[in-house]
Amino acid sequence: MSELEYWLWLSAKTGVRPHTKIKLIESLGDPKSVYRANLAMYKSLGISSASEIKQLSDKELKSANFIYSTCINEKISIVTIADAQYPKRLKSIYDPPIVIYYKGNLPLIDSEALIAFAGTRKASAYGLNMAYRLGRDVCRGGGAAACGLTDGTDRAAAKGAIDAGGIVITVLGTAINAKQSEKLSEIAESCTAVISEYPPGAKTLPTFFRARNRITAGLSLAAVVVEAPKESGALLFADEALAQGKEVYAVTANADCITAEGSNGLIKDGAVPITGAWDILSAYSSIYPDKLKEPTKENAVYNMPESKPKMAKNNEQKTKSERIANKKGIDNENHVAYIDLKAQLNNLSENQLKIISAIKKPGTHIDEIIESSGLKTSDTVSELIFLQIEGYVSREAGNRYSLKIIQSR
């Protein structure tokens, strides 16, 4: 293992700040020299934190050996800041990690128009829709996406990017091999690379999650806040991106949307307002002229991934009209899953029923739906997104909508 052993030894000192590690390596030449230094040397270099000196004074190498063997066994790759593969973008920030661990395939980050996405876990239907669409279209336009894996806009953006077949990077705020929920593990396995500065076995500390922001921002060209309320962690991410000199974009939202008060505030403070992926990518098209392109008209029309509405669990629970419809083969003619509206009334709100009643013919324009339902534009859009997700309506080009259900007569 030779020199790598000392890189791993220093990497395992998670209580020593990244900037302190960089300062020691720059002053002493390499991690091996940092390892050999004594208390007097550390103090002479301005290391005054008692907790940092305590960790640096621990010269046990078992942790390094454990990290190395675990990485071999679990197919975790190791890149030090001295390696050519280490991204130059990340190296240029104030406190880059001295080692990054990753699973998957680490692309040539500096050759990619990597865009970072952030937002709230408790996003509105509009926010989820926009996150998915932006993640998807950034990748369809030749860019790459850096996304979190948690519920809300992070996962929606990651899912969109994955569905587009694009490069998707996620940075963990835990050890690289920390156990994840089944849902997180599933989407992580679909990412191009999962990255962490924390080695196998590292105990997660609360500070890790904010520290992760600097890596995600450092790897990326720009940051996009899709939807964020006041006091959202996504705003801290935007602050980190700004501190690194990165452009910050924010999705426009209704002025009265509580879950977007923070992101709307970013726009007031100077963030670039966006409504689509090309609003972001166009700023970098001159840097990557052979890679970035505006998504085609077909790509730019977003259709929410559809799921079938929840049906009765057994035949005894089905309504008479459902059984008759099945016998007549009503839902086989165009291979569309139709359902009886009456069987679903209890699952829909008053506003959602108003919208369904307003879609009087296939391809009803959204303006007609708003006028007929008597709802606000914002409420109509939000409810239409929900109805798409649940499979009640489908969206077509030109902001037109059609029912996927038949009303009982």
Contacts of 168 (CB under 8 A, 6+ apart): 139, 144, 145, 146, 147, 158, 161, 162, 190, 191, 192
* Ramachandran category for residue 98: left, alpha or beta (phi over 0 → left; psi -120 to 50 → alpha): alpha
Instruction: State the pLDDT at residue 337.
Output: 40
Specify the pLDDT at position 302: 35
Tell me the per-residue pLDDT of 126-167, one tens digit each, with 9 for 90 and over.
999 999 999 999 999 999 999 998 889 999 999 999 999 999
Structural domains of the chain, with CATH = 3-73 (no CATH), 109-300 (3.40.50.450), 315-403 (1.10.10.10)
Residue range 384-395: mean pLDDT, rounded = 76
Taking 90 as the threshold, does the pLDDT of residue 315 lie above it? no
Q: Beta strands 193-196 and 99-104: pairing type?
A: antiparallel
Average pLDDT over residues 220-243: 94
Query: In 3-state terms, what secondary structure has residue 114?
Result: strand
Between 399 and 33, whose confidence is greater? 33
What is the amino acid identity at position 281? L
Amino acid at 351: N
Say if residue 183's pLDDT is above 80. Answer: no
| pLDDT above 70 (res 386) | yes
Q: What mean pLDDT is predicted for residues 372-399?
A: 78
Residue 399 has pLDDT above 80, yes or no: no
pLDDT at 292 over 50: yes
pLDDT of residue 388: 75
pLDDT at position 318 over 60: no
Question: What per-residue confidence (pLDDT) applies to 27?
Answer: 96
End-to-end CA distance of the chain: 76
Task: State mean pLDDT over 366-382.
Answer: 85
What's the token pair of residue 118? 């952030």
Angstrom distances, CA of residue 328 to CA of 233, 309, 311, 332: 53, 20, 18, 9
Q: Tell me what pLDDT residue 328 has.
A: 38
pLDDT band at 389 (very low <50, low <70, confident <90, very high): low
> How many whole angstroms separate alpha carbon 153 and alpha carbon 125?
10
**What's the pTM value of the predicted model, to 2 decimals?**
0.72
Mean residue pLDDT of the chain comes to 85
pLDDT at residue 409, rounded to an integer: 37
Categorize the per-residue pLDDT at 317 as very low, low, confident or very high, splitting at 50, 70 and 90: very low
Q: What is the pLDDT of residue 338?
A: 40
Confidence of residue 301 (pLDDT cuts 50, 70, 90): very low
What confidence tens digit (pLDDT) does each residue in 34-93 have? Answer: 999 999 999 999 998 999 999 999 999 999 999 999 999 999 999 999 999 999 999 999
- Give the Cα separation of 278 and 283 in Å (integer): 8
**Mean pLDDT value across residues 170-178:** 93
Cβ neighbours of residue 242 under 8 Å, at least 6 residues apart?
Answer: 248
* % of residues, the chain, pLDDT over 90: 65
Residues 102 and 79: their CA atoms lie apart, in Å, by 8
Ramachandran quadrant class, 231 (left: phi over 0; alpha: psi -120 to 50; beta: rest): left
Q: How many CA atoms lie within 13 A of 287 on its CB side?
A: 13
Query: Residue 23 gets which letter from DSSP?
Result: H
Sheet (strand 393-396) strand order: 364-365, 400-403, 393-396
Half-sphere exposure (Cβ direction) of 393: Cα atoms closer than 13 Å: 31
E strand or H helix at 402 = strand 400-403
* Higher-scoring residue by pLDDT: 330, 100: 100
> What is the predicted pLDDT for the residue at 405?
65
Pairwise CA distance, residues 166 & 135, whole Å: 9
Query: Strand 400-403 relative to strand 393-396: parallel, antiparallel, unpaired?
Result: antiparallel
